[in-house]
Amino acid sequence: MRKLAWLATLVTLVVGSTALAQQSLLDKVKARGTLVCGVNNQLPGFGSVDANGSFVGFDVDFCRAIAAAVLGDAGKVQYRPLSAQERFTAVQTGEVDVLIRNTTWTSSRDSTVGMEFAPTTFYDGQGFLVRSDSGINTLQDLEGRKICVQSGTTTEKNLADVLGALNVSFTPVIYENPDQASSAYDNGACDAFTSDKSQLASRKTTLRDPGAHKILDATISKEPLGPAVLDGDSTWFDAVKWIVFGVITAEEYGITSQNVENVAKTSQNPTVRRMLGVEGDNITGLGLPADGILQAIKQVGNYAEIYNRNLGPGTQFNIPRGLNKLYTNGGILYAPPFR
């Protein structure tokens, strides 16, 4: 009798779990009260843990901006540090709501891996970190060398493709995590370390003698980095997308975290008024509270503030914005209008 009861319970559980969930992630996040954000904890500048144990970084700030827009409080985020191998599985299984972990937007990830990429927040490219005195200046000089690369990223694929096309043969050393890879490079186990140039700039600061290394000029791939959500949930996707656009548009109109309240009260610009939720239902139509974008800018900042706080001239990285400037300044950041 007891065995039968146990069997019945098991069958019920299995059958019950087939019930499909139709609710959008946006509603789930609002109901839960926190945003679960997949981030990197090993990439200073983009996602890392500071001395107090809290997450900081460029990508982390976008997590906070989304939380501020959806929930009204930038602190209501649960961070899940993810490795390069497990990041997509975490999104696919619903373990994280959004993945903001220096992830490159590629066609295969959009299709077979089942991701949906929000607008690019950082236009990057793949480069090489070598010792200044190793005599390596161009890609051809990498002939016959050992190159450290992290597994599970687009990096190793680009490396094989580009250097193969240039007929440069090399010996790859593949590491599971970037800390191991860069310390192996530092110890001389390989002659070059390849990764996105922003990662290289970040890693260079952690080496024993940063001045003895240099990043080659050559950029061998396009690496547009941005947030990613799961396929099939267009409400959530639209919300995340327009929060990012809001942050970029804020820089375009000169709205900062200091003056956003003032601008909301006094501005006559219809686009600004629509974006900050003062008039129209553009923001509420996305499912966000009317002051969503306003809160995001107030609590986290516009794009320039986020960039300068994490990667700007005042930090140890000092990565030039390059393509990451607004389209009006010579870069390619261009947000569609709030209309």
Partner 1 sequence: MGDACERVPHGFGTGPARPRAGTIPTRTRTVRGMSTRSGTRVPFYRNVKTLGLLAQLVFAAVVVAAAAIVYHNVSSALARSHIPADFSFLRVRAGIPIAETPIPYTPADSYARAFLIGVLNTLKVALVGVLLASVLGVVIGVMRLSANWLLRQLANLYVETIRNTPLAVQIVFWYTAILTPLPPRILSAVRWPGGVLVSNQGVALPWLYPSPAFASWLPYLGVAAVLGSAAFVVRRRQLRRADRPGNALGPALLVALALAAIGYLLSGTTPLPRGTATSFRQVSGIATVFVDANGDGKVDDGERRLAFTPVVVRVAKGVLTTQTQDLSESRRIDYGRFRFPPLRQGEYAKATVVFADPARAAGLSIAYLHQPYQGIVYRDANGNGRFDPGEELSSSGATKRGYAVGLRLTVEGFRRRLVTDRGGLARIPRFTTGAAQASTTGGGGANMSPAQLFAAPAQAPAAGEPPALDARFVLPAPRPVVVSRPTIPISTYFGGITLSSNYLALLLGLVIYTASFIAEIVRGGIQAVPGGQREAAKALGLSDLQTFRLVVFPQALRIILPPMISQYLNLTKNSSLAPLAAYVELFAITTIIASQTGASVPVTIMLIASYIVISLVFAFVLNLVNARLALVER
Residues 230-289 that bind partner 1 (CB under 8 A): 230-232
- Give the residue from 103, 146, 148, 152 showing the smallest Cα distance to 124: 103
Cβ pair 108, 114 in contact under 8 A: no
Of 100-159, binders to partner 1 (CB under 8 A) are: 108-109, 112-114, 125, 131-135, 137-141, 143-146, 149, 151-153, 156-157, 159
Assess 82 for contact with partner 1 (CB under 8 A).
Answer: no
Alpha carbons 321 and 307: distance in angstroms, whole number: 8
Cβ pair 201, 324 in contact under 8 A: no
Assess 1 for contact with partner 1 (CB under 8 A).
Answer: no
DSSP secondary structure letter of residue 333: B
* Pick 73 or 179: Cβ nearer partner 1: 179
3-state secondary structure at position 304:
helix
Shortest distance, CB of residue 11 to partner 1, whole angstroms? 6
Instruction: Let me know how long the chain is.
Output: 339
Assess 219 for contact with partner 1 (CB under 8 A).
Answer: yes
* Pick 17 or 52: Cβ nearer partner 1: 17
Assess 23 for contact with partner 1 (CB under 8 A).
Answer: no
Shortest distance, CB of residue 22 to partner 1, whole angstroms? 11
Tell me which of 9, 54, 78, 93 binds partner 1, using CB under 8 A.
Answer: 93
Cβ pair 57, 47 in contact under 8 A: yes
Cβ pair 210, 169 in contact under 8 A: no
3-state secondary structure at position 290:
coil
* Pick 121 or 150: Cβ nearer partner 1: 150
Alpha carbons 171 and 228: distance in angstroms, whole number: 32
Tell me which of 23, 27, 54, 94 binds partner 1, using CB under 8 A.
Answer: 94
Tell me which of 76, 222, 273, 309 binds partner 1, using CB under 8 A.
Answer: 222
Shortest distance, CB of residue 150 to partner 1, whole angstroms? 10
